Amino acid sequence: MPQITLPDNSKRDFNDPLTIEELASEIGSGLANSTIAGKINGVLVDASEKILKDSSVQILTADDTEGLEIIRHSCAHLLAHALKQLYPKVKLAIGPVIDDGFYYDISLDEKINDSNLKAIEQCMTKLAKKKYPVIREVVERKKAIEVFESRSEPYKVKIAEEIPEGEVIALYHHEEYIDMCRGPHVTNTKHLKAFKLTKVSGAYWRGDSKNEMLQRIYGTAWKNKKDLNEHLKWI
């Protein structure tokens, strides 16, 4: 029976464990609809994470800096999902958050240029509007390697092979697309409302000039279209 302490020091008692999303619903529907992720005893977690015992909990929305960073990180996954649909032979490397946005490094025989970005962005928008659930699955390293070997993703296999045995590995399921990431991520693409792909450049795999050159697709993401448009005025 967890007792949850909220940031205002108010306490709520529950008969059973519940997720961050369920806690938000108990507080109010408005908060539930805008919940991006949460913190349990200071640890950043997905909104689907269960609160199992007495804990201090913070619910994060797009108004929080960390909530916005999660939106940007999830937009990187959305970009990868769109790329796999448009270019089935693409090989995916990494897709981190950066200042004001995100990028994804890819290997593809076809050169992506600025004229391709509009079509990729349109595919991202179409996927986001489906409001599909993003499902987190914790697996062992062996399973992660098997998953990405079966999907012909050599860069993901290399990354998985280097993760220490016993360390938590999370797979994020985006419909037919699967990515590997520490997270957290949004639990539904309904939260990805304002993004734009900005440019393409080259980048060596792992930043080493001895490795192969990849293509890096950059994007920016914000909590709403107003903030996005304001940002675009300055770039």
First to last CA, the chain: 51
Residue 107 half-sphere exposure, CB side, CA atoms within 13 Å? 14
Q: Are strands 55-60 and 43-46 parallel, antiparallel or unpaired?
A: unpaired
**Sign of torsion over alpha carbons 18, 177, 67, 155:** positive
pLDDT at position 9 over 80? yes
pLDDT digits (tens, 9 = 90+) for 25-46: 999 999 999 999 999 999 999 9
Residues 47 and 9 in one domain: yes
Residues 186 and 126 in one domain: yes
Mean pLDDT computed over every residue of the chain:
96
pLDDT at position 235 over 80? no
Residues 27 and 87 in one domain: no
Whole-number pLDDT of residue 98: 97
Residues 124 and 191 in one domain: yes
Residues 124 and 14 in one domain: no
Whole-number pLDDT of residue 1: 79
- If pLDDT is split at 50, 70 and 90, which confidence band does 194 have? very high
pLDDT at position 214 over 90? yes
14 is written with which tokens? 């529950």
Residues 196 and 126 in one domain: yes
- If pLDDT is split at 50, 70 and 90, which confidence band does 53 have? very high
Residue 80 domain-assigned (yes or no): yes
Residue 112 to residue 203: CA distance in whole angstroms: 13
pLDDT digits (tens, 9 = 90+) for 107-150: 999 999 988 999 999 999 999 999 999 999 999 999 999 999 99
Q: Domain of 33?
A: 3-61
Residues 220 and 186 in one domain: yes
Total domains present in the chain? 2
Of 42, 61, 80, which residue is a domain's last?
61
Phi and psi, residue 125, nearest 5°: -60, -45
Residues 97 and 45 in one domain: no
pLDDT digits (tens, 9 = 90+) for 72-99: 999 999 999 999 999 999 999 999 999 9
Residue 125 domain-assigned (yes or no): yes
- If pLDDT is split at 50, 70 and 90, which confidence band does 234 have? confident
Who contacts 213 (Cβ-Cβ below 8 Å, separation ≥6)?
A: 202, 203, 204, 205
Residue 124 domain-assigned (yes or no): yes
Whole-number pLDDT of residue 159: 97
- Give percent of the chain above pLDDT 90: 96
Residues 19 and 77 in one domain: no
Residues 8 and 87 in one domain: no
What average pLDDT score do residues 172-199 get? 97
Q: The whole model's pTM is what? A: 0.95
Nearest to 91 by CA among 112, 81, 106, 109: 106
Q: Per-residue DSSP letters for 124-182?
A: HHHHHHTT-BEEEEEE-HHHHHHHHHHTT-HHHHHHHHTSPTTS-EEEEEETTEEEE-S
Residue 56 to residue 117: CA distance in whole angstroms: 43
Residue 147 to residue 157: CA distance in whole angstroms: 9
Residue 226 domain-assigned (yes or no): yes
Q: What is the CATH number of the domain that holds 72?
A: 3.30.980.10
Residues 57 and 77 in one domain: no
Residue 139 domain-assigned (yes or no): no
Residue 154 domain-assigned (yes or no): no
pLDDT at position 190 over 90? yes
